[in-house]
Structure 1
Amino acid sequence: MTLATDVGELLHLVPVQRAGFALLLAAVGLPVIGVVIVGLDIMPVRFAMMHVALLGIAIGMLTGLDPALCALVACALAGAGVAPLARTPDGLSGAMGLLMSLAIAAALLVLAVSGVNASGAFSLLWGSILSVGTADLVVLGILAVVVPGLFWWRRRDLALLLYDRELALCSGVPVPRLTLILLVLVAVAVAGAIKLTGALLVDALTLLPALAARRLGRSLKSITAWAVAIGVVVNLTGFLVALSMDLPPGPVLVLTAGAAVLGVHLIPERRITSWRPTASASHPSSH
């Protein structure tokens, strides 16, 4: 009873309410980004954007601008910049390796030359969910609307692109433009999750719900719906557990999402499906 009372009192605090609302918004948009990451097989993008986020944070601390905003802009520009190299997953992997090296080197150089406290910059990578502000909520809200909206609007094109790039090209899908949009959204999502879990634990909000959803869904539409549902349950459950046990939310969210993935994979293997496009999706989209 005391535990429930303590959690109830915490939930009346404005920073806690903002954090919970931010996680709810994140659960709508970010797991769909995870579906993109898994579908395009672009795992290295996450790691590269973590390094780019650090560079943006360093620039923000040097210039006096909002470090999180600078990280967001830096990631968006980096995502747009590497899009022309994303013709194949291998080509993108090489570009991400180069981007990671350059970004971390530039970040360390900026910190060294400016005399900025490096520990302050690196601390932002671990997240500070109770410091979520209005700007963070706006970014997460935009992602929560734009990402599912894009999936609904261009669902046939996306189904083809995530299933087979060459088939999408032959079917008239604007692959380069769509890939550019998706990479920018992935980059912005990583930056937008910095305050929630830290860039190093962003998988809890993006990739892990998508991995669990792939086990349950039978099409891109159902996989996306499952990813959002799992994201909502994982985020709210992990946050409440962290509050009740006075633990850092980031690691708890990762462990909660990981438990969900492991639990889903106990389902018999016959449930595994792919997002092979339907016959109607094999034709060029009218959009």
Structure 2
Amino acid sequence: MLEMLSLAPILKGLLVLTFAGFTFPVTGVYLLRMNLLPLRFMLMHGAILGGAIALAMQYNPFWTTMLVNLLMVLLMTKTSRSMQVDTGQISMFMMVISISLAFIFIYKFNVPAQDTLSLLWGSLFALSWHEVIGVLAFSGLLLAFQFRYRRKLRAVFFDREIAFSSGVNEGRLYYAIILLTAITVAAAMKLIGALLLDALLLLPALIASLHAKSLRGVIIWSCLWGGIFSLSGFFLSLAIDIPASSGVALMASVVFLIIYVNHKRFKS
């Protein structure tokens, strides 16, 4: 196993998955606290559209997916504000239109089925060094945002109206959270795919919510659990020859079931 770590693709995969595991669950906490789960589904569909465009036009899938997700978020937020429509309704519409466009690109440009399915399970070991640096930089940005605005975020999570009346620009924080979530979803899909995305984003946050006593504890424990799942899942995948994404999801699922059962037993 140690010999495999000397291979550049394996080493890059380990490096990126470790940083992502210790940072990406922050956005999972945001999604749960602000009830933005429909946004996650919209971004997953947008990432598939971005990947389909990249495969059809022979662009870089990583950066194309990022761009498509950012454009979708900007369109959603602008439409929601100008037309005063609920973001859940807008995201539902964009889910449908984005996946429709994705299938059109796949059909019209004869994108191979195998390449299309890679959008669903990720390509951790096919990262370039530019993509590695991009993920590492974003991981640092995500932690910096959480540390810089931790007090304002706590106020927004408690009550948005009270936060606004206290002088917190909750609208700006809301849009920043959506943009960070869009980038996180696009990057996580590249690493472990759309089907197992929640193993890296939501399960660590859900597990932390079961035993942490404060928002600060939820954030810290989410990142710790995400890092543990990423590292253990990665080495499990090397040991028994399964996809790294499956290893991460398997470890996260087992721990979630154990902690959830114990939490229910303790409460009863």
TM-score, with structure 1 as normaliser = 0.85
Instruction: Describe the shift of the 1:28–1:81 C-alpha distance in structure 2 as closer, same or farther (beyond 3 A).
Output: farther
Which residue in the other structure is 1:77 paired with?
71
Looking at structure 2, the residues matched to 161 and 269 of structure 1 have their Cα atoms a distance apart, in angstroms, of 29
Give 1:260's aligned amino acid: V
Q: CA deviation at 1:56?
A: 0.9
Given that 1:54 and 1:122 are in contact with CA atoms closer than 8 Å, whether structure 2 keeps it comes out as no
Pair 1:52 & 2:46 matched = yes
Given that 2:210 and 2:263 are in contact with CA atoms closer than 8 Å, whether structure 1 keeps it comes out as no
Which residue in the other structure is 2:177 paired with?
182
Among residues 192, 196, 203, which one is paired with 2:198 in the alignment?
A: 203
Q: CA deviation at 1:270?
A: 10
Give 2:17's aligned amino acid: L
Instruction: Describe the shift of the 1:139–1:271 C-alpha distance in structure 2 as closer, same or farther (beyond 3 A).
Output: farther
Greater alpha carbon shift after TM alignment, 182-191 vs 138-147: 138-147
Looking at structure 1, the residues matched to 266 and 32 of structure 2 have their Cα atoms a distance apart, in angstroms, of 18
Given that 2:46 and 2:69 are in contact with CA atoms closer than 8 Å, whether structure 1 keeps it comes out as yes
Instruction: Describe the shift of the 1:270–1:115 C-alpha distance in structure 2 as closer, same or farther (beyond 3 A).
Output: closer
Given that 1:217 and 1:223 are in contact with CA atoms closer than 8 Å, whether structure 2 keeps it comes out as yes
Q: CA deviation at 1:36?
A: 0.6
Which residue in the other structure is 2:131 paired with?
136
Among residues 95, 103, 106, which one is paired with 1:108 in the alignment?
A: 103
Looking at structure 2, the residues matched to 13 and 184 of structure 1 have their Cα atoms a distance apart, in angstroms, of 34
Q: CA deviation at 1:118?
A: 4.7
Among residues 255, 262, 266, which one is paired with 2:257 in the alignment?
A: 262
Q: CA deviation at 1:31?
A: 0.6
Which residue in the other structure is 1:222 paired with?
217
Give 1:47's aligned amino acid: F
Among residues 15, 23, 26, which one is paired with 1:29 in the alignment?
A: 23
Give 3-state SS (helix, strand or coil) of 2:195's partner.
helix
Q: CA deviation at 1:119?
A: 4.1
Give 1:133's aligned amino acid: S
Which residue in the other structure is 1:63 paired with?
57
**Residue ranges of structure 2 left out of the alignment (5+ in a row):** none
Q: CA deviation at 1:222?
A: 1.5
Given that 1:68 and 1:194 are in contact with CA atoms closer than 8 Å, whether structure 2 keeps it comes out as no
Looking at structure 2, the residues matched to 44 and 195 of structure 1 have their Cα atoms a distance apart, in angstroms, of 20
**Residue ranges of structure 1 left out of the alignment (5+ in a row):** 1-6, 273-287
Which residue in the other structure is 2:239 paired with?
244
Which residue in the other structure is 2:227 paired with?
232
Give 1:120's aligned amino acid: D
Q: Deviations over 1:117-139 (max 9, x none)?
A: 35423322211211122233123
RMSD of aligned residue pairs (Cα, Å): 2.2
Given that 1:77 and 1:184 are in contact with CA atoms closer than 8 Å, whether structure 2 keeps it comes out as no
Q: Deviations over 1:80-121 (max 9, x none)?
A: 3223538xxx92221211110010111112222333335423
Aligned residues: 264
Which residue in the other structure is 2:154 paired with?
159
